Amino acid sequence: MRFFLLIFISLTTGIVGFSQEILTGLQFNPVVKARAEALQRMNLPYTGSDTIPIAMPFFDDFSANKVFPSADRWIDHYAFENDDFPVYPINLGAMTLDAINDSGNMYPTAVPGPLNFIADHLTSRYIRLDSVFSPVARALTPADSIYLSFFYQPQGRGKAPQKNDSILLEFLAVPAHDSLIPGGTTPVPDLWRQMWFANGMPLDTFYLKNNKWFVQVMIPITDTIFFKKKFRFRFFNYVSLASSALPSWQSNTAQWNLDNVYLNLGRSKFDTVYPELRFVYRPPSLLNRYESMPFTQYCDDPTNEITDTIDIVMTNRDIIPHAATYKYFVTNPAGSFSKSYDGGSYTMQPYQTDPFVTYQKFAHPEVSFLIPISQADSAMFLMKHVLTASPPGSLPGDTMQAYQKFFNYYAYDDGTPEASYGLTPTGSQLAYRFRLNKSPDTLRAIRMYFNKTLGNVSQQFFYLTIWNENSGKPGDTLFTSLVMPKYADSINKFVTYHIYPPLSITGTFFVGCKQTTDDNLSIGFDMYNNSRNEIFWNTSGVWNPSSLTGSLMIRPVIGKPIPVGIGDIVSRSLKITVYPNPCSSVTLSIHTPETTEKSNIAEDGSVIITDLIGNLRLKTGYSKQIDVSSLSNGLYFLEIRSRAGIRMAVTKFIISR
């Protein structure tokens, strides 16, 4: 367990401090926004109904991973059901409360400063605490020993709640009603009673204090005021938003994870055990280095790309040992390929003795086969894992599955950001390493994921850059193009920068960026997967390996030509010059290569000039001489676009009069 703690402490390094590598929390949750939009398109409700109170037992382990709380048990949808943020949850999945609302955006009340504000709520449906009907109908009383229990964890893979942040549990004491007054009635809102709270702290401090990743809370219900037909409870959190001189570095904070919320009668303070065998983390990739890679590159060296073993985290939540069997199965959609693994039988020790199974055949099963090669451009395989108690049915087991994807891109990340990665100061460089098996190949595009920042103030130009390798680090620059980020508004919304002309590459190469400002580019950072050894940064002429555990959401696209989609950006290494630069006159001259002049720019292309913070200052038709008399002194970007709106070139110039 000490080993796991050291891993987590290294994971959080760099979130605070003076490093040029800085992780910030999300300022926007694309998963939540995508789910909300999908439910709206399907005209499906994602809030619970209170027309009929539900009966006990009330239980939710948040393993369905449906993004929003289940409408069968909860009436609101502000909290986030996921398996990305919790660290060593009770089972696969948990509910996260933070400062992002049900639309995926920061709450409007999220104001930087020391004062905190109420953010997420997780509110149960009405629950019948007045009576039960099985085996016979009878009224409930405090003698029925009713307990509400749950597990909680601060921070997880998110941002640590500060000391003045907190999570609270309240019980509904008096439901909303109309009260009689002289001459009529007046509405009385719900009256709540606080039953429990916890102050914020980092996860490493929480673990050292409790020797547990999640702590269970047991709340007895003894006051007769709660024994009614319309009982309910709710969790909510107080959040403080860190202040910053640069809004682009402000972010979501104060994350809390909840798991296994359970309300029932006939319990006691010792009723803390869940007799079940469960997976804790989702299925890993079958690949050695990548979450996904181009199928053509895999087929050129499958032996070295497929991993020898995979890591599975599973646990026995009972207080006694249980015999179990573990197997996994790999198939393709066509059914022409099928492989399986049988880990045999093993007696899993209880959680209190050995929290997570270390038995080699269960925890680190071997992969003794290769994904079959073919002439296809892509492939996909389903991997299913099954954990069963022995004999079957003697205890609840678990099943999980995931797809192994082989498309036209390399990815270390899983497609979901838990944080934002940024560098400072101006001039900082970031490089991400990838390796080809089949050389040469053609680099067609770079896909990058950018998280939104407050007010999108970090929409600054940066140089998209590609390097070759020199002694394990970035070497010569092969390509560079001045571009701007485009921020995600739903899940998997990578912006695609097409490389024009396509670049022939060999062996090991690096992709990344050079910054033009101090602002946070807010590149998506996957803290679930770890490719730290492939990330390098440079602020002083020396390339340094990353100190942050996780994976950048940057994906090079390799192989055959790909179509240009809506919102894609064509990045060209076209060189243009402007003069005089600095410009002290009212006219700026543009010199472009002959190939540009022969295009359709001259007919109806355009020139766009913006300032350092991205504000449009001038837009005019393409000409070799541009009137810049309206521009004040300062640094500007000049961009040439074709008549189709494709960015052809960008350069900087200075006005100095």
pLDDT bin (cut points 50, 70, 90) of residue 196 is: very high
pLDDT at position 49: 63
- Note the pLDDT tens digit of each residue in 408-418: 999 999 998 88
- How does 245-274 read in b/e, with b if 16+ C-beta sit within 10 Å? ebbbbbbbbbbbbbbbbbbbbebeeeeeeb
Among residues 258, 201, 237, 215, which one has the least CA distance to residue 82?
258
Average pLDDT over residues 605-620: 83
Which range of residues forms the domain containing residue 497?
A: 419-572
DSSP state at residue 450: B
pLDDT band at 1, cuts 50/70/90? very low
Q: Pick the more confident residue, 262 or 48.
A: 262
User: Looking at the domain assignment, is residue 2 inside a domain?
Assistant: no
pLDDT of 105 over the 60 cut: yes
In angstroms, rounded to a whole number, what is the distance separating the alpha carbons of residues 221 and 144?
10
Check whether residue 528 and residue 628 sit in a common domain: no
**Do 640 and 601 form a contact (C-beta atoms < 8 A)?**
yes
Which one of 364-368, 539-543, 613-617 scores highest in mean pLDDT?
A: 364-368
Q: Which residues contact 51 (CB under 8 A, 6 or more apart)?
A: none
Same domain, yes or no, for 519 and 374? no
pLDDT tens per residue, range 161-194: 989 899 999 999 998 877 777 777 888 888 999 9
What is the per-residue pLDDT for 592? 78
Determine, yes or no, domain membership for 535.
Answer: yes
Q: Which DSSP string do the residues of 375-425 spell out, in sequence order? A: S-S-EEEEEEEEEEESSTTSS--EEEEEEEEE-SB-BSS-S--SEEEEE-S
Domain boundary residue, one of 572, 596, 619: 572
Identify whether residues 368 and 301 lie together within a single domain.
yes
Boundary-marking domain end, from 518, 540, 572:
572
Kindly state the DSSP code that residue 292 receives in the 8-state scheme.
Answer: B
Contact 510, 536 (CB under 8 A): yes
Residue 152 lies inside a defined structural domain of this protein: yes
Q: 128 lies in a domain? A: yes
Residue with structure tokens 């020396």?
Answer: 542
- pLDDT at residue 591 greater than cutoff 90: no
567: which residues sit within 8 A by CB, 6+ positions away?
486, 495, 496
Phi and psi torsions of 11, nearest 5°: -65, -35
Q: Which of 379-383, 497-501, 646-650 has the weakest average pLDDT?
A: 646-650
Q: How many domains does the chain have?
A: 4
pTM of the model: 0.83
* Residue 280 contacts residue 313 (beta carbons within 8 Å): yes
Give, in degrees to the nearest 5, the angle at Cα 288 between 286 and 291: 60
Do 567 and 593 belong together in one domain? no
> What count of other Cβ atoms lies within 10 Å of the Cβ of residue 382?
14
161 and 100 in one domain? yes
In 3-state terms, what secondary structure has residue 146?
Answer: strand
Return the DSSP state at 208: H
Provide the pLDDT confidence category of residue 248 given band limits of 50, 70 and 90. low
pLDDT band at 3 (very low <50, low <70, confident <90, very high): very low
Q: CB–CB of 212/154 below 8 Å?
A: no
Q: Quick one: pLDDT at residue 134?
A: 87
Q: What is the CATH number of the domain that holds 493?
A: 2.60.120
Which pLDDT value is given to residue 293?
98
The DSSP bridge partners found for residue 240 are: 116
Dihedral pair phi/psi, residue 137, rounded to 5° = -70, 130
More confident residue, 77 or 218: 218
**Residue 54 clears pLDDT 80, i.e. is over it:** yes
For 273-287, 560-574, 583-597, which range has the lowest pLDDT when averaged over its residues? 560-574
Question: Mean pLDDT across the stretch 341-356?
Answer: 96
If asked whether residues 217 and 80 sit together in one domain, one would say yes
- Tell me whether residue 30 is in a domain: no
- Reduced to 3 states (helix: H, G, I; strand: E, B; else coil), residue 259 is strand
User: Is residue 52 a part of any domain in this protein?
Assistant: yes
Q: Are residues 169 and 114 in the same domain?
A: yes
Q: Are residues 224 and 209 in the same domain?
A: yes
- For residue 184, what are the β-bridge partners? 181
**What's the CA gap between 131 and 362, in Å, rounded?**
45
Residue 222 sits in the same domain as residue 150: yes
The answer on 69 and 212 residing in a single domain is yes
**Structural domain contains residue 162:** yes
Proportion of the chain above pLDDT 90, given as a percent = 63
Same domain, 437 and 392: no
Per the domain annotation, does 395 fall within a domain?
yes
Give tens-digit pLDDT for 435-450.
999 999 999 999 999 8
Q: What is the pLDDT of residue 358?
A: 97
> 203-210 and 2-12 helices cross at what angle (nearest 10)?
160
Average pLDDT, the chain: 87
Average pLDDT rounded to a whole number, residues 287-316: 97
Higher pLDDT, 219 or 103: 219
Q: What is the pLDDT of residue 115?
A: 79
CATH of the domain at 342: 2.60.40.10
Looking at per-residue confidence, does 346 or 623 come out higher? 346
- Which is nearest to 272 in space by CA: 280, 260, 284? 260
What is the reported pLDDT for 7? 40
Is the same domain home to 65 and 203?
A: yes
Is-contact 258 145, C-beta < 8 A?
Answer: no
Adjacency order of strands within the sheet including 647-655: 616-621, 606-610, 634-641, 647-655
Single out the residue in 553, 572, 591 at which a domain terminates: 572
The pLDDT of 391-405, averaged and rounded, is 94
